[in-house]
């Protein structure tokens, strides 16, 4: 039995200090819905558990100049109940709220979903489409990175020793913007994405002026598919533009074959979900 | 290994216990505090048998460290009946035979109560989605869903 320690600091500096002092054996505890399962399976044997839920900055949602700063440890349930956030970024909120059951939502955080670095994480394609940035604090201070650069591979991040994800920021939404996230699962609930697709659009007078597409579960990390966004920008989101964007999504796929789906199936579905998610995002863009 | 001392509130009563870091709140409830109404199914957050509330939020007891209970408020199935008086959901589950072997029942009751506190007028679809994190191998779910719908209706009528 490993002698495990538990600390629950009230400042980020203390949390960084505790992680650094643990010398690679420290694990951050937010909702615990990944960490506790890994501990039970024996795949995680932390020397120090650093519970960050007593750190106010990591537990709140702030509105900042039209955008939002969301603490890394805020639960999915709290995110889902925030009225302004759900209005501005419905796709991001629905992606986060698709993770697990109500019981999981009561604890699991978007920051944890990010740091768990699953290629199939539901929140991540929506955050990539949203051009979210991640705030990281470590022994050398704070830095801010685009969300799509956080992941290095399945279960691996680009965080340096002692660094923790403090929160993430969603930009302000101009009039005519909309986002959506769709995933394919064989069941209706409680499953892991075969493919996940997030789309964020800005539409002015019927023409798409900005578009970003995030694709999940089709590569070792969630992808920002820039070519798909480019195919939509300047178009009226007509069938030809949607097919070009879908083709760009299919071309970006480097999926694995597994029990959830074959390479061929995942690749095809990536294009299908792009079209459906873009249609929902466009409808939402028209509504605001 | 040094034990952690935790002060918390369980079913409205102050409670204190000593625990190891690796112990879950489910372990402590069942093995140390004698509150065995909360069941352990999968131990990985998939089945909902260990459903409890933490500061009124529905969670899985197997996915929370006991140490995290410090200063918080926990409700378990044991807090649902008031003495001999069963909660409306408990009565309706019996009336509708919304259980058979019973191991999932405390989790379903705690989750259903959390649903009705959050949404007193849920549709059948909302109930099914809300309870998607609770697994039952006996009932086929239908009796459970109908029991919750009926209790919701009764509660709305009595508060009208």
- Residues B75 and B92 reside in one and the same domain: no
- Residues B116 and B69 reside in one and the same domain: no
Most distant CA pair in chain A: distance in Å? 64
8 A C-beta contact, residue A275 and residue A244: no
- Residues B114 and B138 reside in one and the same domain: yes
Judged by CB atoms closer than 8 Å, whether chains meet at A49 and B21 is answered as: yes
When divided into structural domains, chain A yields a total of 3
- Residues B143 and B115 reside in one and the same domain: yes
Q: What is the dihedral of CA A30, B69, B59, B141, to 10 degrees?
A: 160
Token pair belonging to A23: 């010398």
Distance from CA of B8 to the nearest CA of A (A): 15
Which residue, of B38, B60, B79, is where some domain finishes?
Answer: B79
- Residues A150 and A214 reside in one and the same domain: no
Nearest CA in chain B to A98: B129
Judged by CB atoms closer than 8 Å, whether chains meet at A51 and B68 is answered as: yes
Does any CB of chain B come closer than 8 Å to the CB of residue A13?
no
What confidence score (pLDDT) does residue A2 get? Answer: 56
* Residue A70, domain CATH: 3.30.465.10
List the single residue in A41, A106, A188 with the smallest CB-CB distance to B57: A106
- Is A188 among the domain residues? yes
Q: Which residues of A touch B60 (CB under 8 A)?
A: 33, 103-104, 107
Does any CB of chain B come closer than 8 Å to the CB of residue A190?
yes
Domain range for residue A110? 60-170
User: Which pLDDT band, with edges at 50, 70 and 90, does B132 fall under?
Assistant: very high
- Residues A220 and A275 reside in one and the same domain: yes
Judged by CB atoms closer than 8 Å, whether chains meet at B63 and A104 is answered as: yes
Most distant CA pair in chain B: distance in Å? 56
pLDDT at B1 exceeding the cut of 70: no
- Residues B98 and B136 reside in one and the same domain: yes
- Residues B95 and B40 reside in one and the same domain: no
- Residues A193 and A257 reside in one and the same domain: yes
What confidence score (pLDDT) does residue B158 get? Answer: 85
8 A C-beta contact, residue B118 and residue B110: no
Percentage of residues of chain B with pLDDT beyond 90: 95
Q: How many CB atoms lie within 10 A of CB B7?
A: 12
* Residue B65, domain CATH: 3.10.20.30
When divided into structural domains, chain B yields a total of 2
Which residue, of B16, B44, B79, is where some domain finishes?
Answer: B79
Which residue, of B50, B79, B108, is where some domain finishes?
Answer: B79
Distances (CA, A) of B126 to A282, B68, B96, B112, B135: 26, 30, 20, 11, 16
What confidence score (pLDDT) does residue B160 get? Answer: 66
- Is A36 among the domain residues? yes
- Is A55 among the domain residues? no
Domain range for residue B24? 4-79
List the single residue in B22, B115, B133 with the smallest CB-CB distance to A104: B133
* Residue A263, domain CATH: 3.30.390.50
Question: β-pairing, A67-71 with B4-10?
Answer: unpaired
pLDDT 10s digits, B28-49: 999 999 999 999 999 999 999 9
- Is A54 among the domain residues? no
Burial of A13 (0-12, 13-18, 19+ CB in 10 A): exposed
Distances (CA, A) of B105 to A215, B48, B70, B100, B102: 39, 10, 27, 9, 5
- Residues B138 and B114 reside in one and the same domain: yes
Mean pLDDT split into 10-residue runs, chain A, 288 residues: 86 97 96 96 96 98 94 98 96 97 97 96 98 98 98 97 97 96 89 95 96 97 98 97 98 94 96 98 88
Total-model pTM: 0.95
Which residue, of A144, A170, A196, is where some domain finishes?
Answer: A170
- Residues A100 and A27 reside in one and the same domain: no
- Residues B92 and B74 reside in one and the same domain: no
* Residue B133, domain CATH: 1.10.150.120
- Is A209 among the domain residues? yes
Q: Which residues of B touch A31 (CB under 8 A)?
A: 63
Which residue, of A170, A187, A207, is where some domain finishes?
Answer: A170
- Residues A45 and A66 reside in one and the same domain: no
- Residues A145 and A207 reside in one and the same domain: no
What confidence score (pLDDT) does residue B78 get? Answer: 98
- Residues A181 and A265 reside in one and the same domain: yes
Token pair belonging to A58: 């990591």
- Residues A185 and A251 reside in one and the same domain: yes
What confidence score (pLDDT) does residue A3 get? Answer: 82
Measured in degrees and rounded to the nearest 5, phi and psi for residue B111 equal -70, -40
Q: Which residues of B touch A32 (CB under 8 A)?
A: 63-65, 68
- Residues A149 and A241 reside in one and the same domain: no
Q: Which residues of B touch A5 (CB under 8 A)?
A: 21
Q: Which residues of B touch A52 (CB under 8 A)?
A: none
What confidence score (pLDDT) does residue A66 get? Answer: 80
- Residues B69 and B102 reside in one and the same domain: no
- Residues B11 and B75 reside in one and the same domain: yes
- Residues B17 and B74 reside in one and the same domain: yes
- Is A242 among the domain residues? yes
């Amino acid at each position: 039995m490993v002698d495990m320690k538990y600390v629950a600091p009230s400042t980020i500096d203390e949390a960084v200090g505790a992680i650094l002092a643990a010398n690679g054996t420290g694990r951050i505890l937010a909702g615990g819905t990944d960490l506790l399962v890994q501990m039970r399976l024996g795949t995680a044997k932390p020397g120090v558990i650093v519970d960050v839920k007593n750190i106010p900055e990591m537990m709140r949602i702030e509105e900042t100049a039209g955008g939002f700063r969301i603490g890394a440890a805020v639960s999915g349930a709290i995110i889902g109940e925030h009225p302004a956030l759900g209005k501005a970024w419905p796709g991001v909120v629905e992606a986060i709220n698709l993770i697990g059951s109500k019981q999981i939502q009561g604890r699991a955080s978007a920051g944890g979903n990010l740091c768990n670095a699953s290629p199939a994480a539901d929140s991540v394609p929506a955050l990539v489409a949203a051009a979210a940035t991640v705030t990281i604090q470590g022994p050398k201070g704070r830095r801010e990175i685009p969300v799509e650069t956080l992941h290095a591979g399945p279960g691996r991040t680009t965080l340096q020793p002692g660094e923790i994800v403090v929160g993430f920021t969603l930009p302000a939404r101009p009039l005519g913007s909309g986002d959506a996230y769709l995933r394919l699962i064989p069941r209706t609930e409680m499953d892991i994405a075969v493919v996940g697709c997030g789309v964020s659009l800005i539409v002015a007078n019927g023409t798409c002026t900005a578009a970003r597409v995030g694709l999940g579960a089709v590569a070792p990390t969630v992808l920002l598919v820039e070519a798909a966004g480019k195919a939509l920008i300047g178009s009226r989101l007509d069938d030809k533009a949607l097919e070009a964007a879908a083709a760009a999504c299919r071309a970006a796929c480097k999926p694995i074959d597994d029990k959830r789906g074959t390479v061929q199936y995942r690749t095809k579905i990536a294009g299908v979900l792009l079209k459906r998610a873009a249609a929902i995002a466009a409808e939402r863009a028209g509504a605001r | 290994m040094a034990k952690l001392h935790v002060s918390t509130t369980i079913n409205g009563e102050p409670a204190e216990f000593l625990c190891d870091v690796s112990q879950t709140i489910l372990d402590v409830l069942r093995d140390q505090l004698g509150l065995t109404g909360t069941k352990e199914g999968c131990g990985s957050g998939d089945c909902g048998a260990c459903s409890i509330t933490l500061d009124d939020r529905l969670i899985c007891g197997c996915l929370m460290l006991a140490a995290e209970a410090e200063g918080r408020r926990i409700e378990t199935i044991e807090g649902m009946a008031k003495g001999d008086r069963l909660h409306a959901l408990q009565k309706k589950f019996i009336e509708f035979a919304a259980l058979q072997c019973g191991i999932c029942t405390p989790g379903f009751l705690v989750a259903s109560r959390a649903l009705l506190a959050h949404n007193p007028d849920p549709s059948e679809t909302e109930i099914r989605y809300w309870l998607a994190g609770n697994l039952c191998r006996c009932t086929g779910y239908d009796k459970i869903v109908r029991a919750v719908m009926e209790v919701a209706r009764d509660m709305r009528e009595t508060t009208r």
